[in-house]
Amino acid sequence: MQHYIEHPTYSRNPKKKTDQKTNFEQLWRGSLLLLLTGPYLPVFAAPSIKLDADSFSVAPSTITYRARKGDTLSTIAEYLTTTSRNWVALQKINKIPNERTIPIGTPILIPVALLEQIPASARIVAFSGAISANTADGKDIPLAIDTTLQEGARIETGPNSFITLALADNSRVALPSNSQIKLSHLRSARFTQSPVTEITLVRGRVDSRVSPLKENKGRFEVRSPLAVAGVRGTNFRVNVSDNKMATEVLHGAVAVAKNNRPAGLPLQAGQGSITDAQAVSKAVPLLPEPTLTGNSALQQRPTVRLTVDPLQGARRYRAQIATDQAFQNTLSEIESDTVEIRLDGLIDGNYFARVTAIDNQGLEGYPSITAFKLKARPEPPFPIGPKGKARIANPSLSWSEVPDAIHYHIQIASADQFTQLVSDDATLTSAQFSPPKLALGPYFWHVATVVTRDGKDDQGPFGDAQAVTLMAPLELPKIEPAGSTLAFRWHGESGQTFVIEIARDAAFTALFLTQESTAPEISIANPPNGIYFVRVKAIDSDGYTGEFSEAQKIVIGGLWRTSDGAPLINTGDITPTGF
């Protein structure tokens, strides 16, 4: 038998066969393009095996070798497949009568299933939260973007923690909170690079987005203690909890089978199934994507709030937040038993929300993805008052101070949507504002905080609208003392009570009388002669206490007056003696 010697360092020592195959593979990968486009470039393989553009070609799911002088199926199988014993399979596939007398130039088709599998890896493309990763021998793996994980690695996520892996064929594997997987099998077929991936889901969930495998005859499986889900190019989810495995197919197809049983349940896009210790349940349709109501596109509070239109058949809802629409970089997730979903802990920025409905079996349906902006800072101040209503001629609006505020922005409107502003001031430096004279009636007001960031003014969102109704302040009629009785009436409303104060000074520090009344009137015996000041305030039936009325000065008894008309009073004459 004639042999080709293609490299001066070639050795016939069988112990070096593995190294020779490895060297060949490295040379083949590095020079395939030159082989196909340039002049002849010999690549070492083995005696009687010569690979160049004329003798060797690679297709997505096969390789083709054209026999040369002296080749046998045994030598071809030994150096291009996993074992020389594969010559029998090659003979059947290629219908070659005699494996030792192969005509020169005969194309030998070798399927990907017979090719040797070489190690592959997974690459970290995004992660957040508390995550641990270990090699097959238990060593810790420092986490960083673009860190590669080899076969046998284990990954575990903590609460509200996420990691996304990219495989060699650009498939994506996303592991959400409280989940654990093992990269049980990370290989690719020699020459064709067809991926062979097997992920063991120990607990929790895994979301797989697999590149199409139909053409390259690759394999992708997610295994659990209960079953295995095998796919051929799809987007699907697997969840292991409570001794059950849920499989949900969003695109493509999946076959779910109990471990060590060849027959599997085919699941098409839009179908899901539950596997327990006994069997794989029948396929059921997944719930459709939920619809968000309200204005979720702009979130102006630190707590993100999403409201779902109730979906028939949904037991609860799951929401995830990510910085990208593909949800590689997931940051937060939560489940809710109601249509009101709330998430905390996000900084201001642009996000995507992915919301799914979960049925009574625990199967998760199609996702609804919505983009939103979070602009909640600087947070608005807390409003102090007035709230509800104000019986005062010139009300003053006030709020709490924000330490970093350089000024505040207040708006007053006649409608709660603030489409009709009656006052708008963005330059207030104090935490109160007295608006221009306003007509009586209902109004709404809110305040925003303005701080300095990166040398520029940064205004946060307005606080919640505060409703206030301006009402006419209580006014006393002109009081004219007559005879021995001091009596007067004023306008009141049903259900009000009143507080009447009479003092000897305009500051009402020396009170002569404090009296409550359920009627808008008072009648008392005249106090001793002198000058007095009178005021009244009303307490509404809802507990609102208005401001005191304008004080009115009254004079009791005859008084001597000075030349300029001012009363001349003996201070002893106005000492209270009672009634």
CATH value at residue 304: 2.60.40.10
d(CA 422, CA 419): 10
pLDDT over 90 (residue 201) = yes
| Residues 281 and 296 grouped into a single domain | no
User: What confidence tens digit (pLDDT) does each residue in 330-386 have?
Assistant: 999 999 999 999 999 999 999 999 999 999 999 999 999 999 999 999 999 999 999
Residue 564 has pLDDT above 70, yes or no: no
Any domain includes 332: yes
Least confident of 42-51, 67-76, 188-197: 42-51
Better-predicted residue by pLDDT, 42 or 524: 524
Q: What is the pLDDT of residue 17?
A: 42
Q: Do residues 300 and 219 both lie within one domain?
A: no
Please tell me whether residues 319 and 256 are part of one structural domain.
no
Domain boundary among 115, 133, 164: 115
Q: CA 85, CA 83: separation in Å to the nearest integer? A: 5
- Average pLDDT rounded to a whole number, residues 217-238: 91
Same domain, 260 and 301: no
For the residues 269-292, what does the mean pLDDT come to?
A: 96
According to the model, what pLDDT value does residue 562 have?
57
Reply yes or no on whether the pLDDT at 103 is more than 60.
yes
Is it the case that residue 160 has pLDDT exceeding 50? yes
Contact 141, 167 (CB under 8 A): no
**More confident: 79 or 398:** 398
CATH number at residue 261: 2.60.120.1440
pLDDT band at 572 (very low <50, low <70, confident <90, very high): very low
Per-residue pLDDT, 259:
85
- Same domain for 171 and 209, yes or no, is yes
Tell me what the mean pLDDT of segment 305-317 comes to. 97
CA 438 – CA 390 distance, rounded (Å): 12
Residues 278 and 149 in one domain: yes
> Is the pLDDT score of 62 beyond 70?
yes
Range of the domain at 25: 14-115
Same-domain check for residues 154 and 262: yes
Rounded distance, CA 228 to CA 225, Å? 8
337 and 452, same domain (yes or no): no
pLDDT of 150 over the 80 cut: yes
Is 55 part of a structural domain of the chain?
A: yes
Residue 134 lies in a domain: no
Average pLDDT for the chain: 87
User: Phi, psi at residue 399, to the nearest 5°?
Assistant: -155, 170
The tens digit of pLDDT for each residue in 127-136 reads 999 999 999 9
Cα 66 from Cα 51, distance rounded (Å)? 9
Question: Which of 215-219, 347-351, 394-398, 472-476 tops mean pLDDT?
Answer: 347-351
Average pLDDT of the segment spanning 544-549: 91
479 in any annotated domain = no
> How much is the pLDDT for 129?
95
> For position 566, what pLDDT does the model report?
55
For the cut 60, the answer to whether the pLDDT of residue 40 exceeds it is: no
Residue 435 and residue 492 in one domain: no
Q: Do residues 178 and 249 share a domain?
A: yes
Residue-wise pLDDT tens digits, 205-225: 999 999 888 776 789 999 999
State residue 163's pLDDT score.
97
Residue 4 inside a domain? The answer is no
pLDDT greater than 60 at residue 315 = yes
What would the mean pLDDT of 189-207 be, rounded to a whole number?
A: 94
What's the domain count of the chain?
5
Whether residue 8 is contained in a domain is answered as: no
Q: Is residue 401 part of a domain?
A: yes
Q: Quick one: pLDDT band at residue 559, thresholds 50, 70, 90?
A: low
Domain C-terminal end among 374, 406, 435: 374
Same structural domain, 458 and 565: no
Q: Kindly state the helix (H) or strand (E) to which residue 76 belongs, with its residue range.
A: helix 73-80
Q: Tell whether 278 and 300 lie within a shared domain.
A: no
Long-range CB contact pairs, 57-61, < 8 A, 24+: 58/32, 58/191, 58/192, 59/192, 60/192, 60/194, 60/215, 60/216, 60/217, 61/111, 61/112, 61/192, 61/194, 61/215, 61/216, 61/217
Reported confidence tier of residue 557, pLDDT bands at 50, 70, 90: confident
Mean pLDDT, rounded, for 536-559 = 89
For residue 563, the model assigns a pLDDT of 56
In-domain check, residue 212: yes
pLDDT at 400: 97
Which of 266, 285, 304 lies at the terminal end of a domain, its last residue? Answer: 285
Nearest to 249 by CA among 229, 264, 224: 229
Q: Stretch 73-98: mean pLDDT, rounded?
A: 93
